[in-house]
Structure 1
Amino acid sequence: MDMRFSKPLAVFAKCLLLWITVLGVLLVAGEAHAQSLNLDFGTSSEGTLAARLFQMILLITVLSLAPGILIMVTSFVRIVVVLSILRSALGLQQAPPNIVMISLALFLTGFVMAPSFETAWREGVRPMMNEDISQEQGVANVVAPFKRFMLMQVGSGELAFFDALAARSFGEAEDMVPSAGQSAPSPTGPPLAAETEQQAPNSGAELLAMIERAASMEGGNAESGDQAQPSLRILLPAFLISELRRAFEIGFLIFMPFLIIDLVVAALLMSMGMMMLPPAIVSLPFKVIFFVLINGWQLLAGSLVLSFAT
């Protein structure tokens, strides 16, 4: 045989033998399946099918809302609002970017909330995962450190306001339920309109009175051993409003030195007759270098962390 054809035939024979070998292995190999995911919703001694489906839906809902819930019950709100006010005071629109501001707020929040997270893990999550305590007790132990933190930070005025507001609102709701032997009020007609017109000014006056009483109680936190702890329904909105109020107070103190720089620069420009030159553009580098020279980031971070040490 010619040498020109013998070498290609040998290569073809080797390839054919390799394909036959691979095909034989595939034919004699056993079946392989991916690992199956078993979602058993059958009935058990713990509950019915509907109850287990409801528990799973509730768990998925809580997991999807968990980041927002954790943000609302931690120090994140105060920190991120103060950082936003700082950026506005400096006159910077996009520096630092939003992702940097939020990341810094998250890291500072983790630093402040580390004791609460550790307590929740040690007393609630880990025992519940090890089945040492029930789910109800585990959830209560997880919520307890965050509730303690909110009680230390919330103002007594906010708590008193929402407590009175809840009592007033639910009192009106209970009065609308007819008692035995009484007929429900008619949804239409002059009596209902007259009653609404009569209750409107009273409700506004009572709301103003509640706000005045809440303002007179400012100046301390709500944590007290001899008082019953408020429910989360009252504590959560009171804590958020208290955090926003304190963030605005800190923001006012941050704004003042930069406002003075703006006023000085504007006065100098007017004295030199530079009416068309925007003062904000001229004062921006002075505000930035002032913030850098006083080591502003460390001062701000330290002040924010120490503001929670009460």
Structure 2
Amino acid sequence: MTATWFNRLVPVLVVLLGIVWAPLSMAQESGGIPGIPAFTVEPGEGEGVQEYSVTLQILALMTALTFLPAMLMMMTSFTRIIVVFAILRQALGLQATPSNQILLGMALFLTIFIMKPVFEEANRVALQPYLQEEVTSLEAVERASEPFKQFMLAQTRESDLALFVRMADEQYETPEDVSFWVLMPAFVTSELKTAFQIGFILFIPFLIIDMVVASVLMAMGMMMLSPIIISLPFKIMLFVLVDGWALIMGTLAASYGI
């Protein structure tokens, strides 16, 4: 089972690394930047002693790898899911339960479930032909970016996309022609907006419970007792009775058309 999840993540990592590395590769192939060896061997001071020095190519590669987690989150459904989970925990009145690690793990695996068709399409059209040496690395990156671009376009509001197109001062005939770097911030903005809309709906039933409990306590003259202490068990009970976790995850998956 672990190998299956790893195989689904491989196309995404290849695509994200290719997006970062593609400009440098194109410049090298066109002769604009001379090739840099992975490492150099220099004779040392003593007889038969050699010194190895890491060059800028390795440094650039390791720097690019640090951007992969951020790009993975910004190009998938991860942002919407983790924001909704954080708002849900706040609405319940729980400060540290479930913990951040549990929420991140749930968001990650739900993201893999939602993004599975995109991963499989990128693997089919880009990774497998590249492994079979049917296309070059740049062609594989271009092919693999298309499924992600279509997914992001389907989830991006036209108003958000128009905003960033206007800020970039560029003209496009159709949304499919929008640059990937213009589409990404528009997609993230739309995801945050949708996440807050879902969070607003989640807050309403728990807010009603807080108001009812506060009103009852004031009517009984128990003003020194915090309403949160009394309402928390009722909110947890309501969430369990309606099978809240399954309802939330099903709603998030359905919001992407699954």
Match of 1:272 among 199, 212, 220: 220
- Residue 164 of structure 1 deviates from its aligned partner by 1.1
- Residue 135 of structure 1 deviates from its aligned partner by 1.0
Q: Does 1:286 align with 2:238?
A: no
Aligned residue identity for 2:35? L
User: Which segment is superposed worse, 121-130 or 268-277?
Assistant: 121-130
SS in 2 for 1:309: coil
Distance 1:277 1:144 in 2: 57
- Pairwise CA RMSD of aligned residues? 2.2
Match of 1:233 among 181, 192, 196: 181
Distance 1:130 1:55 in 2: 26
Matches within 5 A, 1:1-310: 48-50=34-36, 56-167=58-169, 227-309=175-257
- Residue 64 of structure 1 deviates from its aligned partner by 2.7
Distance 2:207 2:254 in 1: 25
Distance 2:174 2:161 in 1: 16
Distance 1:228 1:308 in 2: 19
- Indicate the residue corresponding to 1:5 in structure 2: none
Contact 2:153/2:175, CA 8 A, preserved across alignment = no
How many residues of Structure 1 are paired with residues of Structure 2 in the alignment?
210
- Matched-pair identity in %: 47
Distance 2:247 2:141 in 1: 37
Aligned residue identity for 2:236? V
User: Which segment is superposed worse, 54-63 or 77-86?
Assistant: 54-63
Distance 1:285 1:116 in 2: 41
Distance 2:57 2:154 in 1: 33
- Residue 80 of structure 1 deviates from its aligned partner by 0.2
User: Which segment is superposed worse, 265-274 or 157-166?
Assistant: 157-166
Distance 1:303 1:57 in 2: 43
- Residue 226 of structure 1 deviates from its aligned partner by 5.7
- Residue 78 of structure 1 deviates from its aligned partner by 0.1
User: Which segment is superposed worse, 55-64 or 147-156?
Assistant: 55-64
SS in 2 for 1:93: coil
TM-score, normalised to structure 1, is: 0.64
Contact 2:210/2:227, CA 8 A, preserved across alignment = yes
Distance 1:255 1:295 in 2: 16
Aligned residue identity for 2:252? L
* Higher relative contact order structure (alpha carbons within 8 Å, sequence separation ≥ 6): 1
Distance 1:289 1:78 in 2: 26
Contact 2:217/2:227, CA 8 A, preserved across alignment = yes
Q: 1:109 to 1:97 in 2, by over 3 A?
A: same
- Residue 56 of structure 1 deviates from its aligned partner by 4.8
- Residue 158 of structure 1 deviates from its aligned partner by 0.1
Unmatched runs of 5 consecutive residues or more in structure 1: 1-44, 171-224
SS in 2 for 1:50: coil
Q: Which has the greater radius of gyration?
A: 1
SS in 2 for 1:49: coil
- Residue 229 of structure 1 deviates from its aligned partner by 2.4
Unmatched runs of 5 consecutive residues or more in structure 2: 1-27, 39-54
Distance 1:134 1:61 in 2: 23
